[in-house]
Amino acid sequence: MKDKTLFVSGGTRGIGKAIVYAFAKEGCNVAFTYASSVDTANEIIADIKANYGVKCRAYKLDILEPNTYKDVYKEFDEDFDRLDYFISNAIISGRAVVGGFGPFMRLKPRGLNNIYTATVDAFVVGAQEAAKRMEKVGGGSIISMSSTGNLVYTPNYAGHGTNKAAVEAMVRYAAAELGEKGIRVNAVSGGPIDTDALKAFPNYEEVKAEVVRRSPLSRMGVPQDLTGACKFLCSNESSWLTGQTIVIDGGTTFQ
C-alpha cells in the first residue's frame, strides 16, 4: 500500500478513524472527510504526519447532500495525483434520523429517507467519483461499511438495518459493472461495534450486554476489529474477491 492513496468518508472518530490510522501505518496516503469538527480533523492530520510520514488531508462533507462529493473530489485532485481505495463509512445521527430510528410504528418517511440518502445515495456518488479516478491508475478497491443490523433484529434499528441491506445490494451491482475497469467492490459488515454512534442508543447498555452474551468471544467489538478486513479487501491478497460482504461480528449472528 506504500505510496498509494485511500479516501474514507467519516474519518474523525470510531471505525473511520481506526481505518485512517490502519492504512497510514502501512505507508498509504490518506484523505478523509469530516462533518463539522475541523479542529479534530487537523489534530489527526498532524498526528498521522508525525507518526507515519504519509500525506494526509481532510475535507468537509455533508453526506445528506451527496452531490457535494463532486466538489470534495475536486479538492482531493489538487492534493493527490491518484486514488486507489475508497471506503464509504460516514453515517448520520441525531435530529437527522428522527423518524428513522425507533420502533416500527413510529417510523416516518423523512427520517427513513435521510438514512437512505446518507447510506445508499452517498455511497453511489462517492463510489462513482472514486471509480473515475481509479480507472486512470488501472483499477482499485471500493468498500462500503455495513452492519449486521440487516441480518439480526436490533431494537429501533429498522431504518438503518433496511438501508444497510440496500447498500449491500448496491455493492453487488457496482461490482458487476466496475469489474471491467479493474475495480473491485465489497462490503464489510460489522456486528455491534463500541463507538460513539452506538453509545448514542438509548438502550446502549442493554445492547452491549446482549452482544457480550451472544458472542462466543464474550466481548463487544471495537473499531480496530474491522480494519483488517478493509486492508485485506484493498490488497492483492483479495484480487479475485468482489461483490461480497464480509461479516465481522464476534459470532453474534449465529447465536
Q: What is the rounded average pLDDT of the residues 91-101?
A: 89
Residue 80 lies in a domain: yes
**Does the annotation count 199 as an active-site position?**
no
Model's pTM, two decimal places?
0.95
Q: Structural domain of residue 188, as residue ranges?
A: 5-248
**Does the annotation count 164 as an active-site position?**
yes
DSSP-derived letter for residue 221 is B
What CATH number is given to the structural domain containing 168? 3.40.50.720
Give dist(CA 115, CA 138) in Å, integer: 33
Confidence check: pLDDT of 59 > 80: yes
- The one-letter amino acid code at 19 reads I
pLDDT, tens only, 133-154: 999 999 999 999 999 999 999 8
Residue 73 lies in a domain: yes
CA distances from 113 to 92, 99, 117, 216 (A): 12, 9, 6, 36
Kindly list the strands in the beta sheet with 140-147, ordered across the sheet, starting from the edge strand earlier in the chain: 56-60, 29-34, 5-8, 85-88, 140-147, 183-190, 245-248
User: Among residues 4, 164, 181, 231, which one is catalytic?
Assistant: 164
Residue 255 lies in a domain: no
Backbone angles phi, psi at 192, to 5 degrees: -50, 120
Give dist(CA 78, CA 48) in Å, integer: 20
Tally of structural domains, the chain:
1
Q: Which residue has the higher pLDDT, 250 or 195?
A: 250
Q: What is the rounded average pLDDT of the residues 97-112?
A: 94
Query: Residue 226 has what pLDDT?
Result: 97
List the grid coordinates of 33. Answer: 472527510
pLDDT, tens only, 195-238: 877 777 767 788 888 888 989 999 999 999 999 999 999 999 99
Confidence of residue 103 (pLDDT cuts 50, 70, 90): very high
User: Among residues 153, 157, 204, 231, which one is catalytic?
Assistant: 157
Query: Is-contact 102 110, C-beta < 8 A?
Result: no
- The one-letter amino acid code at 117 reads T
Q: What is the rounded average pLDDT of the residues 172-182?
A: 98
Name the residue with cell 471509480: 131
Give dist(CA 63, CA 33) in Å, integer: 10
- CA angle (134, 19, 102) in 5-degree steps: 105
Q: What is the rounded average pLDDT of the residues 27-42?
A: 96
Name the residue with cell 438501508: 163
Residue 253 lies in a domain: no
CA distances from 215 to 14, 191, 250 (A): 21, 10, 5
Query: Residue 192 has what pLDDT?
Result: 83
Query: Residue 175 has what pLDDT?
Result: 98
Query: Residue 154 has what pLDDT?
Result: 85
Confidence check: pLDDT of 93 > 80: yes
Residue 192 lies in a domain: yes
Give dist(CA 75, CA 57) in Å, integer: 10
Residue 137 lies in a domain: yes
Query: Residue 203 has what pLDDT?
Result: 73
Q: Counting Cβ atoms within 10 Å, is residue 31 exposed (0-12), middle (13-18) or buried (19+)?
A: buried
| Three-class DSSP category at 167 | helix
Tell me which residue of 147, 95, 97, 92 sits closest to 118, measured CA to CA: 92
DSSP-derived letter for residue 15 is H
